[in-house]
């Protein structure tokens, strides 16, 4: 009798676990874009990202040294190269685009197209052939991005190169992801690799900040809130939740949750920063999600 009474409760909890974790993941993932938009009012992108990556790396360093396999020079060097592409170019690219006032939701939409870019690059680089459904899904997703992009051009004041920068940084990250496949030197625990990536980014963003005049953080409440937001929520909470969900649920299911972050980002930007939210943007977003769904099924 006791076992029968407990069983429905356990089933109910397991059913509630996925929507709860998915909602937290979407909020955490989208908060990275919103946090950069918020903190960029107080400091340049170089200063902002220097302190974000430095604080993240320093907090991770004791765990990276104490837990996990010993990090050899070759493995660290390989991770540094990936950190240049995945943190400095990718993160710096879309942060600079947000600073130039490319709509935050559009930046999130383009940045989250990395899996589609990886699928497209896998064929010429790795010889992994795509199905007709995957090519169709990719074309549909790109069409949706173009709809949102052309509509946002009517409202934004960002230069055209800032839009291209977002696409370029996303493609660099996808290329890095494809190139790292099969390289054993890049296979290490997440907390170790993320520590190396963030510290690599801190060095490069620090050089950029010094070239622009200095790295002193603005002593304002807004900048402090932005740093706490970016380090604790957008970096640690979001990544920890993401990798925990990968162990508990299918990869496609977790990826589908991440694709919900662009509409949430658009809503955040609309409510917090009064960024436009038009019917054309919503239409383009819906088209993109259909394309992503088709490609993910393939």
- DSSP code per residue over 122-181: HHHHH--PPPHHHHHHHHHHHHHHHHHHHHHHTT----HHHHHHHHHHHHHHHHHHHHTT
> Is 50 exceeded by the pLDDT of residue 110?
yes
For 249, phi then psi, to 5°, come to -135, 165
pLDDT in tens, 45-82: 889 899 999 999 999 999 988 888 888 888 888 888 88
Domain enclosing residue 127, as ranges: 32-297
Q: Which of 74-83, 109-118, 152-161 has the highest mean pLDDT?
A: 74-83
Instruction: Specify the number of domains making up the chain.
Output: 1
pLDDT at res. 267: 80
**Residue at 11 is within a domain:** no
d(CA 35, CA 235): 11
Q: What percent of the chain has pLDDT over 70?
A: 80
> Is 90 exceeded by the pLDDT of residue 143?
no
**Residue at 24 is within a domain:** no
d(CA 91, CA 83): 10
**Residue at 23 is within a domain:** no
Find the range with the poorest average confidence among 121-130, 174-183, 217-226, 288-297. Answer: 121-130
**Residue at 162 is within a domain:** yes
**Residue at 22 is within a domain:** no
Find the range with the poorest average confidence among 14-18, 105-109, 122-126, 144-148. Answer: 122-126
**Residue at 5 is within a domain:** no
**Residue 61 CB neighbours (<10 A):** 16
> Is 60 exceeded by the pLDDT of residue 3?
no
> In this structure, are residues 26 and 257 in contact, taking their beta carbons and an 8 Å threshold?
yes
**Residue at 6 is within a domain:** no
Q: Nearest-CA neighbor of 255 among 287, 298, 284?
A: 298
Across all residues in the chain, what is the average pLDDT?
A: 78
* pTM of the entire predicted model: 0.76
For residue 173, name the pLDDT band (cuts at 50, 70, 90): confident
**Residue at 291 is within a domain:** yes
d(CA 31, CA 282): 20
């Amino acid at each position: 009798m006791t076992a029968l009474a407990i069983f429905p409760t356990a089933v109910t909890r397991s059913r509630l676990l996925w929507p709860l974790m998915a909602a937290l993941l979407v909020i955490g993932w989208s908060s990275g874009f919103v946090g950069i938009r918020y903190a960029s009012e107080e400091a340049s992108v170089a200063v902002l990202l220097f302190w974000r990556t430095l604080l993240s790396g320093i907090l991770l360093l004791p765990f990276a040294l104490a837990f996990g396999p010993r990090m050899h020079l070759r493995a660290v060097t390989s991770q540094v190269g990936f950190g240049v592409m995945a943190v400095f170019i990718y993160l710096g690219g879309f942060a600079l685009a947000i600073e130039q006032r490319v709509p935050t939701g559009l930046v999130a939409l383009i940045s989250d197209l990395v899996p589609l870019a990886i699928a497209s690059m896998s064929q010429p680089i790795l010889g992994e052939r795509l199905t007709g459904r995957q090519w169709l899904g990719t074309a549909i997703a790109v069409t949706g991005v173009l709809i949102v992009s052309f509509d946002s051009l009517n409202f934004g004041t960002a230069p055209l190169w800032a839009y291209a920068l977002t696409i370029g940084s996303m493609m660099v990250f996808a290329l890095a992801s494809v190139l790292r496949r099969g390289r054993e030197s890049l296979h290490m625990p997440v907390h170790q690799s993320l520590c190396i990536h963030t510290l690599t980014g801190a060095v490069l963003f620090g050089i950029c900040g010094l070239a622009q005049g200095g790295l002193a953080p603005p002593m304002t409440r807004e900048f402090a809130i932005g740093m706490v937001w970016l380090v604790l929520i957008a970096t640690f909470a979001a990544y920890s939740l993401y990798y925990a969900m990968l162990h508990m649920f299918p990869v496609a299911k977790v990826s589908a949750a991440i694709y919900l972050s662009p509409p949430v980002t658009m809503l955040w930007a609309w409510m917090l920063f009064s960024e436009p939210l038009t019917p054309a943007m919503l239409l383009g977003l819906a088209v993109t999600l259909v394309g992503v769904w088709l490609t993910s099924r393939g």
